[in-house]
Structure 1
């Protein structure tokens, strides 16, 4: 790949700052690469909120990547009513970098008054919630009224609004005269997109009447369980949310059905299920039980609802609008913007995914230690997500495809695999996923610190990734050497280029996502270019209209994106027009053999262009989704898989093969 077009550094910096991925100054971005860990190594704890606030800073400061940061409890909770909120933390929570986004949080609203922590913990244990949360790793936040005799009031809504903003965020901080001060609460006992609410009697009424109308609160919730309670006839639920109602009022069932747009119905083991056929996650489950065993229903809601859905933050502002929308898009209506997308979740339960039974483990080995950067960094840590029948030897030899998943700057590899949708894909398709922790191996920042404006040099991934692929293929004979795919986001998009050039005879197809910044490009040798042109490489380039690959001022894809398209067109003998024409071909400038506009999960309009080579094979693709910013989105994994799955590569000759639908 020849040198790229410059001029996106300002946009790149703005996006990374907005996403909170790293700081602009090296002094405030300490970076340690080796011996990666993403767990807190804590024992299970049960505390009052005021105790958890004091415990948090010290515990969080010891996590990976936090060594030189200063932490404090969030000041917004200093005057929070004492004794009203209890916090259970399961053992060995995720933490460090963005790993806390792997944690699950269940918020329980209950008007019962507890005589101390033992009684409160016993209550959660009887509900079965301690067992459930321990199986997936996370926290249970038990919220009671500030004035128990009064029940939940508007004051409690104000209190919860504050609590919600503190616990369910990421990397909250404040700049002070001494530098940046980080708040520990969210990493210590909160979560991000895996947040669920349970309301019991008066707590259910509180959710229905006060929380559900608030789009900013219910819109971050990935699932509700409502036990009893009431709902005012005037209430309008703020946005779609999966809901499980046990002995709930008909008004509540109807309101949640309406907001989820349910248009289909079934009955499973006596539970009514109303769902949206286009987006089945938008569903309402209604159970009737005159003498309910609550722990049984909690388990049902947990496994049938909570562990199947999550939210991801995908836009910067609710004011975002499509830029220079081409007229033909009127044929596909643009959905209303939602700050937090509702997406599938393939939960990891006791180390194994709920769908597909992928065993998930973090590996750390020294076998690639001979390939080091100038700062003695090398590929040491990676996640393996391996199907059960591969591990037990019952899968046929060479029958299981492999996805090489490459994370972006600041991301945890497991969080990336989950939030980009590859856990869902792999569980459904019975594929293995290998996700290395590869930061500072893609490009190396001077001084081994991730910081804007610091000179970078080429890392060691071009050599290391082919060896990692060879290692896992040898370790697991059931993996299919002809179906090894590579995809990555942001910096991982840059890593994908290196997988392509370093492992071109091993990679069957690749989808670099959001990897359009100059520093991410791989500058190949003439010999590498010649070999890649000889054997070809099926590639899809993926971006979105508020990401690095889109020029908003002109309402089109950037020059860097289109240069990637041209480069891989040459590699794959795809003929593109000599001159771009954005009037005739909006956004992309080139005529495609196929162009499609669809809607993802009822939320986002997306465009897909396919280009055929001289044999009529759609070997080159380009995907762009409206309104999404520089952020992970689970449907990207689906888009990538739907392209890659059609290709294979003969391991002996390097020749690629195509299988149509």
Structure 2
């Protein structure tokens, strides 16, 4: 049955591909069971003349985690019809991935009979059809329509930091020759764009290296030694690279594609707001020994969703870190982007990342905390921490103000607002706050030359923690925070060479240090694993005794531990 929807034609069909046991070069047998591509194909004509065929699973959850969902973009050996795209989605395993990721698969056709450099213009045009707006289910065509600036915009779900390209034969060569070197987007001020990762099936042409230092994670099937080497050399830091060989020399080999996605592709994520792209990794939960679960708790008659990350093997009690994402963001994304899942695996603590927390008050979050403690007796209640970015920072400040006795320490990032007037907590609350030095938002005192919310927040923090009751910004004392530090340290991270974090520590009237302010140089309104690592170095030095007193590990705060 054909359905016409404005300029788009939609095929609804069921493609059942019966597959047998397949062998890949490692000798491991993978059971590729019959898999139905049960969904719709949405067909569109891009302004570039390329045809875009979008496979949408028949799943009511499509789009609910858009800010974490990857954009899967396919360049086949030739142009496809809608029925062919539907069949390929099922036979390749891409439909299965899209359903699991609650996203879609975008097949791009060349303008002519074969791929040319001009077809790279289709990539920004196709990406313009995606949006990471999270929190609402998308319609039956896989799109969310909302009004912006008086205009209705309809977009497919997907995060631009997770654009994964899949190319077969001539489509794979198109990627190595014209995309890996970098695609210029007008929207990106002429700077080269590269994908977060590429999966290449049966390529014949080695990759042309970009002119800039950039990584392109890759998984290559049936590539020559020359092709493999050209892509491996682009992955020196993250190390996200793999190869396989199959007897199948055309099309996507289902077992190899699912294996490549699991081992390499899905672990690549790009840093936001930075060009050329910088890659950091999403935790491999199996290798890291982390248990991951998506949970729901009914609070005031409404389900609160959250994600738990905890070591599978627990040796005694463990700390808990509550994590809160930024506006229109998603719980999984912040856990990955700030490095909390890696840290949980390395230091054996539990992370709980709350989704769409803007709907919940600090009191509701405490209801969740009480539930977690009851459900997981191994949580060390003396070592409960909170952190969040932007809107999540606001939630963290709210917990500090209203329930300071429940947290050993907090680490808000990129935001200082909560309520009409920033207030101190009840008693000392060890706090490290991060501000992006190139953020267009007000993240630090006197950022635009006049007092602002960060001025009031820093003043309240200093009062509550006993640093000073008389904070007034003084650029001569310190150009960023307006007050001289008692100690300071500069921290760098090889993954992001141009970024440095200057941390100022401030002693309280009792002689101890509970307060730190961190300036993230060359960073915009964003969060990086570097910040998570520094935050954990701070948080982990504090616990809260049963009588409410703050305890400093080893008796004294160690600023150098933040850079280790």
Give me the TM-score of the superposition, normalised by structure 2: 0.75
- 1:544 Cα deviation (Å)? 0.6
Pairwise mapping of residues 102-251 of structure 1 onto structure 2 (< 5 A)?
102-112=68-78, 117=83, 119-147=84-112, 150-167=113-130, 180-187=150-157, 190-216=158-184, 219=193, 221-231=195-205, 236=210, 239-249=214-224
Distance change in 2, residues 1:181/1:215 (3 Å): same
2:482 is equivalent to residue 595 of structure 1: no
Pairwise mapping of residues 39-54 of structure 1 onto structure 2 (< 5 A)?
45-50=38-43
Tell me the residue number matched to 2:7: none
Pairwise mapping of residues 600-615 of structure 1 onto structure 2 (< 5 A)?
601-603=495-497, 604-613=499-508
Q: In structure 2, how many angstroms separate the alpha carbons of the residues matched to 1:602 and 1:386?
A: 25
Q: Which runs of 5+ in 2 are unaligned?
A: 1-35, 135-143, 186-191
- 1:563 Cα deviation (Å)? 4.8
Q: Is the 8 A contact 2:417 2:453 kept in 1?
A: yes
Q: CA-to-partner distance for each residue in 1:402-428, whole Å, 9 max, x for gaps?
A: 112233444344444444443443344
Distance change in 2, residues 1:520/1:246 (3 Å): farther
Pairwise mapping of residues 435-584 of structure 1 onto structure 2 (< 5 A)?
435=354, 437-439=356-358, 441=360, 460-461=361-362, 463-517=363-417, 519=419, 521-523=421-423, 531-532=426-427, 536-545=428-437, 546=439, 547-550=441-444, 560-561=453-454, 563-574=456-467, 582-583=475-476
Q: Is the 8 A contact 1:494 1:520 kept in 2?
A: no
Task: Name the SS for the 1:591 alignment partner.
Answer: coil
- 1:651 Cα deviation (Å)? 3.0
Greater relative contact order (CA < 8 Å, ≥ 6 in sequence): 1
Tell me the residue number matched to 2:293: 360
Match among 521, 530, 536 for residue 641 of structure 1:
536
Task: Name the SS for the 1:240 alignment partner.
Answer: coil
Task: Name the SS for the 2:256 alignment partner.
Answer: helix
- 1:614 Cα deviation (Å)? 5.9
- 1:302 Cα deviation (Å)? 1.0
Match among 272, 290, 309 for residue 313 of structure 1:
272
Q: In structure 1, how many angstroms separate the alpha carbons of the residues matched to 2:409 and 2:79?
A: 58
- 1:493 Cα deviation (Å)? 1.8
Distance change in 2, residues 1:288/1:180 (3 Å): same
2:263 is equivalent to residue 304 of structure 1: yes
Q: In structure 2, how many angstroms separate the alpha carbons of the residues matched to 1:89 and 1:635?
A: 36
Task: Name the SS for the 2:66 alignment partner.
Answer: helix
Q: Is the 8 A contact 1:208 1:230 kept in 2?
A: no
Match among 336, 339, 344 for residue 426 of structure 1:
344
Q: Is the 8 A contact 1:213 1:236 kept in 2?
A: yes
Q: In structure 1, how many angstroms separate the alpha carbons of the residues matched to 2:193 and 2:451?
A: 32
Task: Name the SS for the 1:152 alignment partner.
Answer: coil
- 1:486 Cα deviation (Å)? 0.8
Q: Which runs of 5+ in 1 are unaligned?
A: 1-42, 54-75, 263-274, 315-336, 370-378, 442-459
Match among 271, 275, 279 for residue 342 of structure 1:
279
Distance change in 2, residues 1:232/1:471 (3 Å): closer
- Superposed CA RMSD in Å reads 3.9
Task: Name the SS for the 1:594 alignment partner.
Answer: strand
Q: CA-to-partner distance for each residue in 1:490-546, whole Å, 9 max, x for gaps?
A: 23222212212332222011012222247565436xxxx6x41xxx21100111111
- 1:468 Cα deviation (Å)? 2.9
Q: CA-to-partner distance for each residue in 1:42-61, whole Å, 9 max, x for gaps?
A: x97544442xx6xxxxxxxx
Aligned residue pairs, count: 498
Tell me the residue number matched to 1:376: none
Distance change in 2, residues 1:44/1:181 (3 Å): farther
Q: In structure 2, how many angstroms separate the alpha carbons of the residues matched to 1:388 and 1:475?
A: 15
- 1:250 Cα deviation (Å)? 5.5
Q: Is the 8 A contact 1:201 1:227 kept in 2?
A: yes
Q: Which moved more, 1:423-432 or 1:192-201?
A: 423-432
Structure number having the greater strand percentage: 2
Task: Name the SS for the 1:138 alignment partner.
Answer: coil
Q: Is the 8 A contact 1:87 1:139 kept in 2?
A: yes
Give me the TM-score of the superposition, normalised by structure 1: 0.65
- 1:199 Cα deviation (Å)? 1.6
Q: Which moved more, 1:556-565 or 1:538-547?
A: 556-565
Distance change in 2, residues 1:552/1:230 (3 Å): farther
Match among 313, 316, 325 for residue 407 of structure 1:
325
